[in-house]
Structure 1
Amino acid sequence: MEAIEALKTRRSCRTYTGQQISEEDLNTILECALNAPSGSNKQSTKIVVVQEPEKIKLLSDLNAAIMGTKGDPFYGAPTVCLIVAPVDPGYDGTPKYDLNPVKDGSLVIGAMQTAAFAIGAGSCWINRCKEMLELPEGQAIMKELGLEGYQGVGCCILGYPAKAPAPKKIKEGRIMRY
């Protein structure tokens, strides 16, 4: 798919077939993510790929608890990617959330979503990654992965769409010229 077409027609996917994304497709999406721009080319973000159903269920339950619901915020997607960025400690030792790594992580997720759409896969940005990973269970996961000192930016779910996305209506008046 042509880049401009993908950028203009990509939509979030919230209904998946349940079929696991192929390694080839996943690697293509991850390669595009790693090529996303980053401030001062630091490339400090990391991507945690989760495909084991029981681990996805744990993450889904944590994310849902933050929302105050019992539903699945990952919409049954067979792959969940956690995009994390380093926390910059302030001079007094307390966490100071440096904005560049968070912005860099946002670009990573955008690249993942466009890449997924371009190859026929579906994706959706899921919020509450930061809050989820700050919970005791999330902190345990981060410690197990050796990612202490990192914060959640967002979750990017991946899979194959169960149905075609609906066309998007673009709101008027969003472009201003000065």
Structure 2
Amino acid sequence: MALKAMLFDMDGTLTRPRLDFAAIKREIGIPTTSFILEVMETMTPTERERAMAIVERHEQEAAERSELNDGVVPLLAELGRRGILTGIITRNSRRSCETVMTRHELAFSVLVCRECARAKPSPDGILLALQRLRIDAASAVYVGDHLIDLQAGHAAGARTILVTNGHDKGFHVEADFVVAGPGEIVGLLDTLQGTAR
């Protein structure tokens, strides 16, 4: 089946990581080994509101200073040339995503943020994006830099690409494809178009 959509995580995949998750967790007062959004689900409404304000402030500051990973612009141009739809599925807020998109003059066919669906590793965001694009998971690839991205992509039924950013993350075996950076994906497109599930 032909590749019809390539969906991306944002932080660490499309953009260079700017969020200091340890600092955010310290400011909220949660263990540095925990996932912020999951811990927030266990908080009282008042605690959750305070924590979300901290997260959103950090996200917005990072978005305003964001830099694209090398190779993102040529990759998106090549996907557009081939008629492959693109989207972002992220645990970030819509506001911070839109700031990044405006700052770098990027356009995507679909944007699914934490306000729209359960956060990764749940596949809900990817499934929602595919529904909006009217594309089945077998025709899509999800690109991310973390284990939860790979888990979400596989749970949705899509192939996955791990972006390592030059670091051995220890979970590359979970990915269908592994690249050092987004620019390397251009070299995989012919293969992906021939092997999409």
More helix by share: 2
TM-score bracket, shorter-length normalisation: under 0.3
Q: TM-score, normalized by length of structure 2?
A: 0.25
More strand by share: 1
Higher relative contact order (CA 8 A, sep 6+): 1
Q: TM-score, normalized by length of structure 1?
A: 0.27
